[in-house]
Each structure stands twice: as structure tokens, then as C-alpha cells.
Amino acid sequence: MSRHPITWLVCLGAVAVALAGAIWWVSGPRAGSPTGPPVDASLSGQAFAPARVDAPPRSSPAIDVLRAWDAARARAYASGDVSALRALYVDGSAAGTTDARMLRAFTRRGLTVQGMRMQLLAVEVLAHSATWWRLRVTDRLHGAVAVGASGSRMPLPRDEASTRTVTLRLRHGAWHVAAVTR
């Protein structure tokens, strides 16, 4: 160290700068976060999918309905219960048929989906009454892991944010998805 003190100081400075940059990157504000600038998803022509969502939308009756419905869906996937999943949809719902088909594909391979959580990025009430909601929802699947009978775990691919119109109907005291359109 005494033969090349300048070289050591330059290397030490470079390491300090790199470390400070890494700390800033990990803890600094992100676009779309409460402290970062707003993001216009239309700028790129594709939906914006942030690595994390710092502040989910505030609670509202519509958001509360979505969160409760998503939690029930996650329980059905975690237990591999296709009947419980189908019960979340109005009879004949194309979205329900597609979702049940996906869950059956997992269960046929001996897998359940654990840790399934939908991150709500935006919710807009398009119309509603006491017995139905029509919502424009932007969300993404987060944290889901396929778990095998042996305990093997495989994270599902990262989901991009997507926007859909979701129609929910109140039947027998519970909300059911009637339709999902892009």
C-alpha cells in the first residue's frame, strides 16, 4: 500500500462512488412513487410496470371490493380449489372459464400458487349501482410462486401492468366477476 498510495486512493474513491450510487439506486425515489414524478404510460406505447409500488391506491368501496375478491382468488389458487375459484365468477363468465382452466393446468402438474397478490396501480369507477360495479383497473400480479408437492418453489414470471374493464355483480351477499375486457 505504501508503494502506490495514489493508486489506492483512486481505487478507494471509485469504490465509494459506486457504493453511494448503489445505495441511492436501492433507496431513491422511483418514477410513479409518491416522491417521484408522475409517469404517463402512453409515452412508451406500452403499459408501465414498476418494479415496486410504494403507495397503493387509497381505500374506497370499489378498491375494497377488488382487494377482497383478489384475496379470495389467491386462496383458491393456494389451495388448488377450482370450485372455489369458479364460485368467484358469475355462471357462464368467459373470464371464469379461462381462470379455472389456468388453475387446472397448475393442479394437473401437482402445483399450487402461493403468495399471489394483485398490485392495484389504478382503479377508476366507470359506473355502479347497489348491485354492480364497472371498473377500469390497472394492476399486475406480484409475488406468486408455484409450489410443488415436494416443496419445490419456482417464482412465476414477472407480470407487466395491464388495464382491463371489470364488471362485478353482487349475488347472495358476495361480489362475483361477470366480465373482464381489455
In the 8-state DSSP scheme, what is residue 89?
B
What CATH topology corresponds to 49-181?
A: Nuclear Transport Factor 2; Chain: A, (3.10.450)
Contact 165, 180 (CB under 8 A): yes
In the 8-state DSSP scheme, what is residue 156?
P
pLDDT at res. 3 = 54
Q: What is the pLDDT of residues 103-151, one digit of tens each?
A: 999 999 999 999 999 999 999 999 999 999 999 999 999 999 999 989 8
Map grid coordinates 469504490 to a residue. Answer: 15
Q: What is the pLDDT of residues 23-78, one digit of tens each?
A: 333 334 344 433 333 333 333 333 333 444 444 557 899 999 999 999 999 999 99
pLDDT score of 5 more than 60:
no
The residues that bridge with 2 in the sheet, in sequence order, are none
| Range with top average pLDDT, 12-21, 41-50, 85-94 | 85-94
Cell numbers at 96, concatenated: 371464469
Distance between CA atoms of residues 6 and 104, nearest Å = 65
